[in-house]
Amino acid sequence: MQERLLVLWASGDRTVAMNMVCMYTLNSKINGWWDEITLLIWGASGDLLVSDPQLKEKIAEMQRAGVEVIACKRCAENMGIVEKLEETGVKVFYTGVFLTEWLKSGSRLLTI
């Protein structure tokens, strides 16, 4: 059985993003701490991401390393940032069912 981690990033705090979300998620992938890592951008984190060039580069680095990066479409619609997220290569879709299935699967979840 694969060890899967979902990092649910909801914080709009840049310090948290740079010093926890980006650092742990990328290092986890590079060092093989988890077989599969998905980063879910939800709420305020999406707004922060689309307005911060350095964060965009960190997300691109994660994607190149093999982290799947997704975002909640309803949140993005509410903030008017769907297209901006998609331009960064983030897969944007309604994530309610995805998150529920993840939780029911017993796979790991880290919420930030």
3-state secondary structure the chain: CCCEEEEEECCCCHHHHHHHHHHHHHHHHHCCCCCEEEEEECCHHHHHHHCCHHHHHHHHHHHHHCCEEEEEHHHHHHHCCHHHHHHCCCEEECCHHHHHHHHHHCCEEEEC
Asked whether the whole model's pTM tops 0.95, one would answer yes
pLDDT digits over 53-110, tens only? 999 999 999 999 999 999 999 999 999 999 999 999 999 999 999 999 999 999 999 9
Give residue for tokens 């479409």: 73
* 1 confidence band (pLDDT: 50, 70, 90): confident
4: which 2 tokens? 């899967």
Question: Would you state the pLDDT for residue 90?
Answer: 98
pLDDT digits over 26-51, tens only? 999 999 999 999 999 999 999 999 99
pLDDT digits over 3-19, tens only? 999 999 999 999 999 99
